[in-house]
């Protein structure tokens, strides 16, 4: 058990904390900067409504944080926010670069510490920017990844949004077979959401898909369902677009009259709404239908209006469609050379701006031109180019199908890897839990053992301290009884034989001797009484039981009271007691102060020669009062003064042969300190000694005195 000799409670607690702080294998860092995360989330939320403010705040954040010092999850959030804010402000270049980095980092990561909702929205942002950069295949794959994530969220709205984006890409790619299947799922999701706006939107894509596979009757039914639903919603703008799409379907079905009718309905609605901006494609589509109806003048007017709007808007797709319409009009009018030149210009634009579907339509018009010329060889060459284009589109679709399967495979692979990691983490946590439980048990045992030993050691120390106190008290008691036996012995011896002496002098009628003996008896009794008081007070003080109730006292009244007590003793030695008081006050216990005055006065009378004087003087300052008692005795030599500073002062015979008791000054010192004061002793210049007691005047000065002593 000696090993615990220097251990205390703090060390025991330190040992416990050390064991608890041991590193546990398998723990991972999940320590996001909450302030940064909240700032990034706020920027993404407000970037659409307050794009300029979001950009300014983003630029400030870029100056505050170093991207390389962020952990993987923080980097993902950082890149996502950068892409979103720049996209909202139409700063496309940095937005696309951020999206590329985000896509690369997400594909490398297996266990991303983000919610599925966040991961879904990240893929959506990446896909949107890839679509803006005309990277349609990659955009499609990003939307597929978003869709796979959204399936697991159980969030039908998010699932619908990702499915809608995927359908849009299929529409752009011209993959109408798969688009029709996806559109059916889109309708079912929208109906489950009971959201008419999304249901109408889903009808629209289903109709477009059916139109793309030349199922015009079913396409018409879905367009009509869309229009009917939009009428109940009173969404006139969407209804104008629906009539425009229905007109396009009729045009492909060679029902040009119906196509023109629905185009005119669409234009009428847009005009009423003041939304002429959206009329561009409708005018061009209607102009191409009017050509087949033989209304060339109206066709030219419609095409001219649509072409002018397309040029003003720099709408490249519409510009090419307008050029194709004008080419068809020129062919109809027999102006084949002009038509060929215009078609070549249109096809050049489709290569500059990726428009595979529009390029395919342009090649179809060019083939018809060469057929009319009877240039079948040239027509065959263009047909081969068209076939190659269609094959490339089919290849792209197949590649996308394969890529889509790969995305699903990689997603499942990541899910399996993540599931494996989770299982391993669960097993590791269980092992860690068992290890931690064992460590806690050991730590608790050690802590209890140390605490138990500490309590035992404390009890031993307390017992040792109590024994030492008892030894000191016994030593003090023994010394105290020795003093009593010694100092009481002389006065008691002096009283022995007094009865015989009285009897002797009475028989001889010696009155003067009787009076002298009576005085001696009184003096002895006074001395005994005074000694007993001192001994009793001191005895109580040695056991910490002396009462102390300080109060403001008049020095003059108490001094006069004690002078009267010793007046007869002073007169027996013909000593004059002089009191020079300023009538000040002290803050002390009444009994203690009276005891101090009696002891000093008794000592002064004891050592003053026959016929001498004893002076008592009080002097007051702002904070204290000094009581000085001086005698006309022999003074105090250096050795005796040194002895007075000890625990007991030596006894000394007075000027009249009085025996000393040796405890008065010690008692004065203890009582003075108990009341916040102190005592000083000095020899006078001529003869005698002066004893001064310094005591506080008020409660505040008593407190200050205690502070100084401490």
pLDDT, mean over the chain: 80
* CA distance between the termini of the chain: 39
Per-residue confidence band for 573, with pLDDT thresholds at 50, 70 and 90: confident
Out of 13-22, 334-343, 384-393, the most confident range is 334-343
3-state secondary structure (DSSP) of residue 621: coil
The string of pLDDT tens digits covering residues 73-105 is 888 999 999 999 998 998 988 989 998 998 888
pTM for this prediction = 0.52
3-state SS, 167-185, equals HHHHHHHCCHHHHHHHHHH
> Environment class of residue 28 by beta-carbon count within 10 Å: exposed (0-12), middle (13-18) or buried (19+)?
exposed
Say which range, 76-90, 259-273, 283-297, 479-493, has the weakest mean pLDDT: 479-493
Q: What is the pLDDT of residue 391?
A: 73
pLDDT for 478-499, tens place per residue?
545 544 543 444 345 445 556 6
Q: Give the distance, in angstroms, between the CA of residue 479 and the centroid of all CA atoms in the same chain.
A: 66
Q: Which helix (H) or strand (E) holds 663?
A: none
**How far apart are alpha carbons 76 and 124 in whole angstroms?**
14
Q: Mean of the pLDDT values across residues 19-46? A: 63
- What is residue 645's predicted lDDT score, i.e. its pLDDT? 61
* Residue with the larger pLDDT of the pair 545 and 306: 306
pLDDT at position 200 over 60: yes
- Sort strands 624-630 and 689-696 into parallel, antiparallel or unpaired: antiparallel
pLDDT at 187 > cutoff 90: yes
Residue 692 has pLDDT above 70, yes or no: yes
Residue 158 has pLDDT above 70, yes or no: yes
The three-state secondary structure class of 679 is strand
Q: Which helix (H) or strand (E) holds 476?
A: helix 376-495
* Largest CA-CA distance found in the chain, in angstroms, rounded: 189
pLDDT at 475 over 80: no
């Amino acid at each position: 058990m000696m090993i615990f000799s220097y251990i205390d409670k703090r060390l025991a607690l330190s040992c416990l904390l050390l064991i608890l702080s041991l590193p546990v294998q398998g723990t991972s860092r999940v320590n996001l900067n909450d302030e940064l995360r909240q700032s990034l989330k706020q920027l993404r939320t407000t970037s659409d409504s307050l794009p300029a403010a979001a950009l300014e705040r983003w630029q400030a954040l870029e100056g505050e944080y170093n991207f390389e010092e962020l952990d993987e999850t923080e980097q993902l959030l950082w890149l996502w926010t950068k892409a979103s804010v720049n996209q909202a402000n139409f700063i496309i270049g940095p937005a696309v670069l951020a999206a590329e980095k985000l896509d690369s980092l997400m594909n490398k990561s297996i266990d991303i510490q983000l919610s599925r909702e966040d991961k879904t929205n990240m893929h959506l942002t990446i896909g949107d920017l890839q679509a803006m950069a005309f990277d349609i295949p990659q955009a499609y794959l990003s939307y597929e990844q978003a869709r796979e994530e959204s399936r697991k969220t159980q969030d039908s709205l998010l699932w619908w949004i990702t499915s809608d984006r995927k359908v849009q890409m299929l529409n752009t790619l011209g993959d109408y077979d798969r688009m029709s299947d996806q559109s059916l799922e889109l309708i079912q999701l929208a109906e489950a959401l009971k959201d008419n706006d999304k249901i109408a939107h889903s009808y629209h894509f289903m109709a477009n898909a059916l139109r793309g596979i030349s199922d015009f009757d079913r396409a018409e039914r879905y367009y009509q369902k869309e229009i009917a639903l939009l009428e109940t919603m009173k969404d006139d703008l969407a209804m104008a677009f629906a009539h425009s799409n229905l007109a396009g379907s009729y045009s492909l079905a060679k029902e040009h009259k119906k196509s023109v009718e629905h185009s005119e309905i669409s234009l009428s609605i847009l005009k009423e709404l003041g939304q002429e901006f959206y009329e561009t494609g409708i005018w061009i589509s209607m102009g191409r239908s009017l050509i087949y109806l033989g209304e060339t003048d109206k066709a030219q007017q419609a095409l001219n209006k649509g072409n002018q709007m397309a040029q003003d808007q720099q709408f490249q797709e519409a510009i090419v469609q307008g050029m194709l319409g004008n080419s068809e009009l020129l062919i109809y009018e027999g102006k084949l050379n002009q038509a060929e030149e215009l078609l070549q210009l249109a096809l050049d634009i489709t290569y500059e701006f990726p428009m595979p579907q529009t390029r395919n339509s342009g090649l179809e018009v060019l083939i018809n031109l060469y057929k009319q010329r009877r240039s079948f060889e040239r027509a065959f060459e263009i047909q081969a180019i068209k076939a190659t284009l269609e094959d490339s589109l089919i290849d792209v679709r197949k590649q996308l199908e394969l890529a889509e399967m790969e995305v699903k495979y990689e997603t499942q692979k990541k899910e399996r890897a993540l599931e494996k990691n989770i299982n391993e983490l669960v097993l590791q946590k269980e092992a860690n839990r068992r290890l931690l439980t064992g460590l806690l048990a050991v730590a608790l045992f050690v802590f209890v053992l140390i605490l138990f030993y500490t309590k035992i050691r404390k009890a031993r120390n307390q017992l040792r301290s109590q024994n030492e106190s008892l030894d000191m008290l016994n030593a003090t008691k023994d010394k105290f009884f020795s003093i009593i036996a010694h100092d009481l012995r002389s006065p008691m011896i002096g009283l022995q034989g007094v009865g015989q002496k009285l009897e002797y002098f009475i028989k001889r009628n010696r009155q003067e001797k009787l009076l002298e003996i009576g005085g001696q008896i009184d003096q002895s009794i006074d001395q005994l009484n005074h000694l007993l008081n001192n001994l009793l007070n001191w005895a109580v003080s040695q056991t910490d039981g002396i009462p102390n109730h300080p109060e403001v006292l008049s020095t003059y009244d108490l001094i006069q009271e004690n002078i009267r007590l010793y007046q007869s003793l002073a007169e027996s030695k013909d000593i004059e007691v002089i009191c020079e008081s300023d009538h000040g006050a002290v803050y002390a216990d009444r009994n203690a102060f009276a005891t101090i005055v009696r002891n000093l006065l008794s000592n002064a009378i004891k050592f003053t020669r026959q016929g001498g004087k004893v002076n008592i003087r009080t002097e007051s300052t702002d904070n204290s009062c000094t009581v000085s008692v001086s005698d006309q005795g022999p003074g105090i030599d250096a050795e005796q003064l040194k002895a007075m500073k000890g625990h007991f002062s030596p006894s000394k015979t007075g000027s009249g042969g009085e025996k000393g008791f040796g405890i008065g000054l010690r008692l004065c010192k203890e009582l003075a300190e108990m009341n916040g004061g102190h005592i000083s002793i000095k020899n006078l210049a001529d003869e005698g000694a002066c004893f001064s007691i310094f005591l506080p005047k008020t409660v505040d000065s008593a407190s200050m005195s205690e502070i100084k002593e401490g």
